[in-house]
A and B are shown apart, each in its own frame.
Chain A
Amino acid sequence: MTDDKVYRWIGSSPVRPDGIDKVTGHAAFGADRLLPGMLHGLILRSPHAHARILSIDTSAADRIPGVLAIVTGTDFPDVTAAMEETGESQIDVRDLARNVMARDKALYHGHAVAAVAATTTTIAEEALRAIKVEYEPLPAVLDIESAMAEDAPLLHEELRTKGLAEMPARGSNVAAVVTYTRGDPEAGFAASDVVIEREFSTPTVHQGYIEPHAVVAECRPDDQATVWCCTQGPFVVRTLTSKVLGWDVSSIKVIPSEIGGGFGGKTTIYLEPVAILLARKSGRPVKMVMSREEVFRATGPTSASRVRIKLGASRAGKILAAEAELKYEAGAFKGSPITPGCMCVLVAYDIDNFRITGYDVLVNKPKVAAYRAPGAPMAAFAMESMVDEMAHRLGLDPIRFRLDNAVREGSKAAYGPKFPPIGLVSCLEQAALHPHYQAPLGPNQGRGVAVGFWFNVGMQSTATLNVQEDGTATVVTASPDIGGSRASMALMAAETLGIAYERINAVVGDTEMAGYCDVTGGSRTTFATGMAVIQAARDVVDQMRRRAAKIWGIDPDQVTWRDGQAIPPAEHATEQSLPPLDFAALAKSAAKTGGSFVGRASLTAQGAGAGFGVHLCDVQVDPETGKVDVVRYTAIQDTGKAIHRAYVEGQMQGGAAQGIGWALNEAYVYDAHGIMENPAFLDYRMPVALDLPLIDTVIVEVPNPAHPYGVRGVGETPIVPPLAAVANAVFDAVGVRYCDLPLNPPRVLSGLLPAAG
């Protein structure tokens, strides 16, 4: 099923409105702002993974000439309120504040404990060395097993596990237990002909955006602050910063810079409140830019995981029962993506009997942040590996086996509701038919298939459309453009208005100039902000129809809008007295006919459409070294209507590449004390151009009924399948089922050796 409506602009791939700035170096990213008198701020970070902070003495640092401000935890209000409503949902402000600046305990190596602002970076570095912090080191918990052990040292003594039948009396490092059940799993396993069970693990990995976090803050004497920063959501920065500082939101203005990648990692805050306090203390603008090492040690990563899956199926190839146990590391504060992990783990299959249990586990590592389809890739790695193994055990083609068990419209999702129209079956069919799936394999090569899913989300968006007197229009939203969203906004506006794409500019506004938008994330921007843009464009069309009616002296209902023109009813047109008035003519005469046109729309988008994808991966394994090369890759995905085709393909390719990195090389390596040993791109090995083949894409467009043009969202699903697609391909190549990522040469080789011996 695809959408075959004919569009003039939607589905094309024009050059983006901000293109020239991006290829000439003019686009200003987070660290590119320079202000007169600007100070440089740096953060002092804990050298221990777990320690009580006994005292901080800043007096020596204070005396260094050129040091103009120092802040520590006590300069921040002691936020005690726990859960607070923010725009999007509830967040624990106390945890957020303590992650921004430690108060009594440092909870991971790299946790911020103090900050300085000085006239030069060199002086700021000297000041950091002069700050004396007295620590009482505490035993650190560094993995899921030791964190869950009976007598484990506790990160937060007061924390009680949520989700148990009764509130436990004792503290724990398990912040929450999540369960989903359906039917009778025991009976399902008893009825199965084949039952398999394995445990999988994935390491801590980072989003790896190339642009480090950066902020410039100014603070006026009346405590009005302006923050310029690279973020996925200026309004979210404003909300979170205001909560941490205890200020009103209206006293903080956030200007989003261009953003050099986020992938979820820039949906929260780290530096912003610190920079504001330093600016306030010093009376000067303060710039803070993280080093790459700080980015690794103190921001972003996503959970290391352990996932155990038990699967039962009939000889005929029907999955009859499943049991999944997921344990995700949250880092130093609760809140791993365990819930979406549990919701996603079995989501692609129609299974009558299952039990899913998830654990949110605290460890002395940085607090995890959202990362592209948070929680889904690790769950899919385990499940898709098991599905592959089951197909193999049953002697069935892996796509056929998946088709026989796949969810479709009307199937009950593992998390409850029945699916509206979805594209999993179409994607699987496309995969089976794709030349890639039929192509012969060479020696030491193998082919893997895996499915991925993401919900996609809606949330709040606002758009304004200003019509200029030369017949052009400017779309203003506060959704930062991370992957070409200005172009998709302009395309949807052009389509709705019926004017040329080139006549539309799309800009990203700040928290004073644009209406509220939630983050660019959750694959929501083209869907939700796009919906607002379409409504704002319809608002303009409506105003133009009424204006034309006024000019013609007829009833507005008689005026239709077609191809960018107001068209009078037939009886007037045939008299030739009323030629149509087009967009440009109406715009030009606006000043004389009642004022300019401004369209606006504000909404909470509902009905985000689930996105399924299927990836095909061919690898070649070097039996001598264990090195795995991805030699062919195809990503197939139901994106709903693709607005800007090339950027939709780009999301699919980029997600696949990130997932391949996760599968093959990326991992935080910790020493016994909880210190990350590879905080640099040299040793934290992300895919480079030479590591990847061209990535073929097939866009399946099952329209989302909730969006005017059928958009679902695209960005997150493509990172979900690659982990298992790669591992399944390696299995196909060498006959070894690897359950622990990454599949780097030493690991692959160690798996090959016993087989060879």
Chain B
Amino acid sequence: MTKQHVLTTINGEQTEFLCEPQQSLLGALREDLGLTGTKEGCGTGDCGACSVIVNGRLTCACLVLAVEADGQQIETIEGVAEPQALHPIQQQFLEHAALQCGICTPGLIMATKALLEKNPDPSEHEIRYWLSGNLCRCTGYDKIVRAVLAAAAQLRGAEA
């Protein structure tokens, strides 16, 4: 099968790759680009472990074809931290013990980032609603919700 050429921007960096036409963006990120921070929990759009941000929109990378990434702006978990500092969301996830096994964490951090960019001061209910596409089987979500509230407060404080 002839491979397709894709030119895209990942975490601010121009990236080129070849992919099979039926390959998912998730597959291209993980297998071809070595960006394995984005996880696969289901491959059917039901768990959110593969959450990335495409042109500012929270997206399941398993539901997007790799060829569709052509010309888009893609953010993955690998691009969230600064070289010398964690992002406040990452920091608050750690401080609130919002992860146990951590497989859902990259997806949840991306979902939180997308949420807080849209809504810097979400209520508990809004957080739960927004994060409902991201399954976590370990934590019962309590500490995740608290971490998101704290991250939102920190980010608002930083902007003020």
Contacts and interface: CB of A to CB of B under 8 A. Distances in A.
Do A and B come into direct contact in the complex, CB within 8 Å?
Answer: yes
A53 B138 CA distance: 39
Contact of B36 (A32, A208, A689): A32
B62 to A, nearest CB: 10
B80 A24 contact: yes
Nearest to B100: A483
Interface in A193-223: 207-212
A20 B86 contact: yes
A81 interface: no
Given A24-B81, A483-B100, A689-B132, A260 B37 contact: no
Given A261-B137, A484-B97, A25 B44 contact: no
Give the interface centre of B86, B129, B135 by most chain A CB atoms within 10 Å.
B135
A29 interface: yes
Contacts of B141: 653, 657, 687, 689, 692
A211 B41 contact: yes
A670 B124 CA distance: 37
B129 A654 contact: no
Contacts of A562: none
The A contact surface, by secondary structure, is: loop
The B contact surface, by secondary structure, is: loop
Interface stretch (A466-474, A509-517, A678-686): A678-686
Given A212-B41, A484-B97, A689-B141, A24 B102 contact: no
A258 B102 CA distance: 9
B137 A15 contact: no
A604 interface: no
Nearest to B27: A121
Contact of B42 (A32, A649, A680): A680
Nearest to A644: B97
A689 B41 contact: no
Interface residues of A, number: 60
B6 to A, nearest CB: 17
Contacts of A19: 94
Contact of B135 (A29, A483, A686): A686
B57 interface: no
A600 interface: no
Contacts of A259: 101
Contacts of A687: 140-141
A261 to B, nearest CB: 5
Contacts of B146: 694
A13 B98 CA distance: 12
Contacts of B95: 15
Interface residues of B, number: 61
B36 A34 contact: yes
Contact of B137 (A18, A208, A650): A208
Contacts of B105: 22-23
Nearest to B90: A23
A23 B76 contact: no
A365 to B, nearest CB: 21
Given A20-B86, A212-B40, A690-B132, A29 B103 contact: yes
A273 to B, nearest CB: 23
Given A25-B37, A483-B101, A695 B140 contact: yes
Interface string A21-33: 0111111110110
B101 A694 contact: no
A654 B39 CA distance: 21
Nearest to B138: A654
Given A22-B102, A658-B137, A695-B140, A210 B97 contact: no
Nearest to A122: B20
A18 B104 CA distance: 15
A29 B128 CA distance: 26
Interface in B102-137: 102-106, 109, 124, 127-129, 131-137
A689 B101 contact: no
A260 B101 contact: yes
B128 A26 contact: no
B99 A22 contact: yes
Given A23-B94, A261-B137, A681-B46, 7 more contacts: A13-B97, A23-B99, A24-B78, A24-B81, A25-B77, A292-B44, A689-B134
18 contacts: A24-B37, A24-B81, A25-B106, A208-B137, A209-B101, A260-B103, A292-B47, A482-B101, A484-B97, A646-B96, A649-B97, A649-B142, A650-B100, A650-B139, A657-B140, A687-B141, A688-B134, A689-B136
